[in-house]
Amino acid sequence: MHETTTLLVEVGALLFLLGLLGRLSRRIGLSPIPLYLLAGLAFGHGGVLELTASEEFFAVGAEIGVILLLVMLGLEYSANELVGNLRASAPAGLIDALLNALPGAAFALLLGWGWVAAAVLGGITWISSSGVIAKMLGDLGRLGNRETPVILSILVIEDLAMAFYLPLVTALLAGVGLVKGGVSLGVAVLTVVVVLVVAIRYSRGISKAMSADDPEALLLGVLGMTLLVAGIAAKLQVSAAVGAFLVGIALSGPVAHHATQLLTPLRDLFAAVFFVFFGLVTDPRDIPPVLLPALALAIVTMSTKTLTGYLAARRAGIAEPGRWRAGLTLVPRGEFSIVIAGLAVAAGSVEPQLAALATAYVLITVVTGPMVARLPDFGWFKQWLRRRAAVQRTRPATVPD
């Protein structure tokens, strides 16, 4: 009984604080994500006041938060839009991997950590945070923007790539044989294909099984199906985020519209829990020794990720402001980067400092990401774009020999 009482006090106090921080962030025109992270740091391991009874609650809530963020994104788009965007963005996915994984791998080699650590750190710097970016798009009111499908396509390609990467890096860290690693990879690929086919081919039947006229039944049905599919996907070494996103894609029409309205408050609650938990499990004392290397790596890979989004949006015919919005929105890394670092630490076969470096790196990108994503909305940035466009118009065309 005492543990339950303590849990209620800790959860209640922290959620109330988050409410105040959310209100403050909107007053000053800032995304609440950095404030949620700082709250987690203040009350987590090594913080000002450590909350212990509620850590398990926030761990489960954080998982649900990512799942809800992704299913809500999926509800915004149809299966045909997904397939079309994935096909169009496949080259951007390749550029994304090259521009953002290679700097991390090279950084590990420069530090003398070896090839296994290079494969791990390359994954950490490669994958953007679907959860953070989904929250940012909603906070900034950009879900309907022309560049948003380009952003989502890159995120989905990255999450699907994780279905290949995670089994391989797990096998590499464990030193298992080629056959066992190949089996894990095959199961992951098969799961992705099955879920994708079901989402595309049977979306109407899935929507018909839900009733848009009964809010309670619709909420329970959609939430239950999303958690079920995400859990099965995670069990089979596939991203739970991919499973949740495809559930959202599979729902259409009035069902998708009403589900969005019903799930929005739940998404906001558990998304806040996700960001707080990230701070709770981070010990601030581990960050100072690796802060400068993490900052250098963050500057390089935030630039390469911005270039990735810019090139992808330009290829899709998006105007200059939208290209910058796409690039700057992709900056944050998050849940997958921490998962990859956790696998490496659990295996015990890489440099111990890698975990602290990954934590500092992710915190830098997550805190600065929502801030830089707002740059295209400022007047001075728009003026700079107009001057840039004017210079390009007056520049003489190159005359071929």
At 367 the three-state DSSP class reads helix
Answer whether residue 389 is part of any domain.
no
Domain ranges, residue 29:
9-49+58-378
DSSP state of 318: -
How far is 301 from 365, CA to CA, in rounded Å? 9
Residue that the structure tokens 């209100």 belong to: 23
Q: Long-range contacts of range 110-114, CB-CB < 8 Å, 24 or more positions apart?
A: 111/293, 111/351, 113/350, 113/351, 113/354, 114/350, 114/351
Structure tokens at 134: 């989904």
Answer whether residue 401 is part of any domain.
no
Answer whether residue 266 is part of any domain.
yes
State residue 107's pLDDT score.
Answer: 93
Q: Closest Cα to residue 224, out of 273, 263, 254?
A: 263
State residue 102's pLDDT score.
Answer: 94
Give the other-Cβ count within 10 Å of 25's Cβ.
Answer: 18
Answer whether residue 1 is part of any domain.
no
DSSP state of 125: H
Question: Residues with Cβ < 8 Å from 328, sequence gap 6 or more?
Answer: 306, 309, 372, 373, 375, 376
DSSP state of 283: -
Tell me the per-residue pLDDT of 376-392, one tens digit each, with 9 for 90 and over: 988 899 899 888 888 87
Angle (deg, nearest 10), helices 240-250 and 130-139: 40
pTM of the model: 0.72
Give the other-Cβ count within 10 Å of 323's Cβ.
Answer: 23
Which class for 306: exposed (0-12), middle (13-18), buried (19 or more C-beta within 10 A)?
buried
Cα–Cα distances (Å) from 319 to 136, 296, 311, in that order, read 21, 30, 11
Render each residue's pLDDT in the chain as its tens digit; 401 residues.
Answer: 567 888 888 889 889 999 999 888 878 766 687 788 788 888 877 777 777 777 788 888 888 887 888 788 778 766 666 666 667 777 888 899 999 999 999 999 998 888 888 989 999 999 998 878 888 888 888 888 999 988 988 988 887 777 677 767 767 776 655 566 667 667 766 766 776 777 677 777 777 777 777 888 889 998 999 999 888 877 776 667 777 877 887 887 788 888 888 998 998 888 888 878 877 877 788 788 889 999 999 999 999 999 999 999 998 899 999 999 999 999 998 777 877 776 676 666 677 788 788 888 988 998 898 889 999 988 899 899 888 888 877 766 554 44
Whether the CB-CB separation of 271 and 131 falls below 8 Å is answered with: yes
Entry field: residues in the chain: 401
State residue 1's pLDDT score.
Answer: 55
Answer whether residue 391 is part of any domain.
no
Structure tokens at 126: 């490669």
How far is 321 from 309, CA to CA, in rounded Å? 12
Domains of the chain: total: 1
Structure tokens at 117: 């650590």
Q: Would you report the helix, strand and coil content of the chain in percent, each value rounded to 5?
A: 80, 0, 20
Phi then psi dihedrals of residue 161, to 5 deg: -65, -30
Answer whether residue 393 is part of any domain.
no
Whether the CB-CB separation of 330 and 90 falls below 8 Å is answered with: no
Give Dmax (Cα) for the chain: 85
State residue 240's pLDDT score.
Answer: 75
State residue 401's pLDDT score.
Answer: 45
Is the sign of the CA dihedral 333, 339, 340, 342 positive or negative? Answer: positive
Answer whether residue 4 is part of any domain.
no
Answer whether residue 396 is part of any domain.
no
Any idea what the CATH number is for the domain that residue 160 is in?
1.20.1530.20
